[in-house]
Amino acid sequence: MKTIRLTMAEALVRYLAAQSTEIDGRELPLFAGVFAIFGHGNVAGMGPALLRHRRVLPTYRAHNEQAMAHAAIAFAKTCARRRMMACTTSIGPGATNMVTAAAVAHVNRLPVLLLPGDVFASRRPDPVLQQVEDFGDATASANDCFRPVSRYFDRIMLPEQLLVSLPQALRVLTDPAECGPATLALPQDVQAESFDFPAAFFAPRRHRLRRPGPDPITLDEAAAALKRARKPLIVAGGGVKYSLAERALGEFAEAHGVPVAETQAGKGALAWDHPANVGAIGVTGSTAANALAHDADLVLAVGTRLGDFASGSRALFADPRVALVGLNVVPFDAGKHGGLALVADARRGLKHLAAALESWRAPDAWTARARRLVASWNKTVDRVTAPPPSRSNALPTDAQVLGAVNRAAGRDGMVVCAAGGLPGELHKLWRALDSTAYHLEYGYSCMGYEIAGGLGARMAAPQREVFVMVGDGSYLMMNSEIATSVALKQKLVVVVLDNRGFGCIHRLQTVGCGLDPFNNLLEDAAPRIDFAQHAASLGATAEKVAGIGELEQALKRARAAARTCVVVIDTDPQRGTAEGGAWWDVPVSGKARAAYEKARSRQRLA
């Protein structure tokens, strides 16, 4: 057997560089690169290995470990999980900074390979700098924090353990059902230790999207349930995009007359003006989708994990006899809400289901009602996103800013956002033309994802103009990757909506829960932050505008610019879009408790 003597770090990097993926008949590297912030625990091991292979596996330097992992996650999301990135850090705070990002990837079922440095396997110099000591468990380190937020976790105590662990990590990263973050903790002494690795271990390997088909008996049951339905509704989730099932979904919906509502992750799977698209569903949903969901007697949930925002905290599907069919490649998600679990790849499952339904169609009256509701909702969207009257001196709403950005985005634009009030406005109101045009991280709703996510999305889709919409609260939490985007020449258009605090939670506190305002909006005595000046200091072109008219002109300049641009606008923290939406389970006490108990009685617990 031919062997190659390599350090553990060299073997790891060489293995990653040998992996490829097939996309539209083209072979591309599975790993587009490695984000690395070097420090104590990875600079002397992973550093030289990455330097040696930098031509086939590029290394990118970021400014924050959590942010670089967010960028890697956004890259994978934009690539529909067919390509991915790795991230390496030092031990201690460098490693634990990535734990939040690991949770983002875990909740959203997205692949990222995390390679945090770790303490010495030999324990000779214990305790080392940045080591977290457990008084009762000598095997524990800070990296054990990754265990509950990783789909696969291992600590490499000997170089030869890579022979087992790396293929297992790749299996998870590329499996449509298990997909999520994989963490390999790398003790710093082991990174530099050598072993005679079999040469065959580094043979090139091409990965293809696996498409498991449905069980025939369950397929027949699902088809029979649909044929009985008089008011069927499809709920499209992110799994539609990851399966590349957008066309199959559109053909299914048109052939069988079934309206399609969108989750946050599924938005854009059908163009906003597709005849079957009834818009966003749930807590941040349209009046059209939610009215249909209220009356539906069958819900076909395709590629969605049916989180509480999509299901209105399990109270949205109000027909007591409603049947639910979960078409999902993940068995854990397929059987949620007591539904019939049709476990299959979304595209393959839809095609099999369409064949089983033959010429069946939903009643014409149901399809016609869906179209009437959508037409009415579209008028609402036009109204709330239109610019305010030219003589108005009121602060613009998030919806009015969103409308201006949506118009500026055009056919090649992509919006990126994550947390606060903006995702709710975007879910209802943004008009996505295709599945890449809308990029929201709302499974974990992680403040600080926005700018870093925009960077990763731009790296994955350089042909798109990426518009990052971010509130002042999220901007203050994490803005460092503006500098990274400038350094890497990955242009972003960042729109900062400054409402002086956490306006979304302020509205939830005061309007949603009937509580007194407290600790969300900044007091008048707090300093006014010059976000434009701050962004300019990070290397961006930046300006502050007053009103929607000035914003529209600034967006034109930003589109024409060659580097990252930041546009800042003051917005109203009090006003959100009242139209649309559904109940959300937020426990309250006091006077509001009785109304809460009444609403909670509508929840379906099975």
Q: How much is the pLDDT for 585?
A: 82
How far is C-alpha 132 from the chain's CA centre? 31
CATH 3.40.50.970 residue ranges of the chain are: 3-207, 398-570
Average pLDDT (145-159) is: 98
24-50 pLDDT per residue, tens: 889 999 999 999 999 999 999 999 999
What is the structure's pLDDT at 576?
Answer: 83
297 touches 229 (CB < 8 A): yes
**530 or 519, higher pLDDT:** 530
| Element spanning 173, H or E | helix 162-174
Q: What does residue 298 show for φ and ψ, rounded to 5 degrees?
A: -150, 135
For the stretch 399-438, pLDDT in tens is 999 999 999 999 999 999 998 889 999 999 999 999 999 9
Task: Check whether 522 has a pLDDT greater than 90.
Answer: no
Residue 274 scores a pLDDT above 90: yes
Q: Is 168 within 8 Å of 152 (Cβ atoms)?
A: yes
In this model, does residue 525 exceed pLDDT 60? no
pLDDT band at 510 (very low <50, low <70, confident <90, very high): low
CATH class of the domain defined by 216-376: alpha beta
Instruction: Determine contact, residues 499/522, Cβ cutoff 8 Å.
Output: no
Residue 128 has pLDDT above 90, yes or no: yes
Phi and psi, residue 82, nearest 5°: -90, -15
The confidence score (pLDDT) of residue 600 equals 87
- Report the length, in residues, of the chain: 606
> Which of the four pLDDT bands, split at 50, 70 and 90, describes residue 503?
low
Identify the residue with better confidence: 196 or 583.
Answer: 196
Residue 416 host element (H or E):
strand 413-417
Share of the chain above pLDDT 90, in %: 87
CA neighbor of 356 nearest in space, from 253, 213, 215, 223: 223
Please give, one letter per residue, the 3-state secondary structure of 557-574: HHHHCCCCEEEEEECCCC
Q: What is the DSSP string of 230-282?
A: SSEEEEE-HHHHHTT-HHHHHHHHHHHT--EEE-TTTTTSS-TT-TTEEEE-S
Q: Is the pLDDT of residue 352 over 70?
A: yes
Question: Which residue type sits at 112?
Answer: V
Q: For domain 398-570, say whether CATH 3.30.450.20 is its number.
A: no
Q: What is the pLDDT of residue 507?
A: 65
Q: Which amino acid is at 539?
A: G
Instruction: State the Cα–Cα distance between residues 35 and 441, nearest whole angstrom.
Output: 20
| Closest alpha carbon to 369 in 296, 266, 320 | 296
Domain covering 3-207 assigned CATH 1.10.260.40 in the classification: no
Domain with CATH 3.40.50.1220 in the chain: 216-376
Q: How confident is the model at residue 499 (pLDDT cuts 50, 70, 90)?
A: confident
Which of 365, 378, 25, 42 lies closest to 189 in space, CA to CA? 42
Give residue 594's pLDDT band: very low, low, confident or very high (50, 70, 90): confident
Distance CA 564, CA 486 (A): 6
How high is the pLDDT of residue 512? Answer: 63
Tokens 């390509």 sit on residue: 83
The identity of residue 83, as a single letter, is R
Mean pLDDT score, 288-297: 98
What are the tens digits of pLDDT across the range 160-201? 999 999 999 999 999 999 999 999 999 999 999 999 999 999
Question: What confidence category does residue 390 fall into, taking pLDDT thresholds of 50, 70 and 90?
Answer: confident
Segment 98-112 shows an average pLDDT of 98
pLDDT at residue 326 tops 70: yes
| Predicted model pTM | 0.96
Residues 429-474 pLDDT 10s: 999 999 999 999 999 999 999 999 999 999 999 999 999 999 998 9
Residue 176: predicted pLDDT: 97
Q: How large is the average pLDDT for residues 53-77?
A: 97
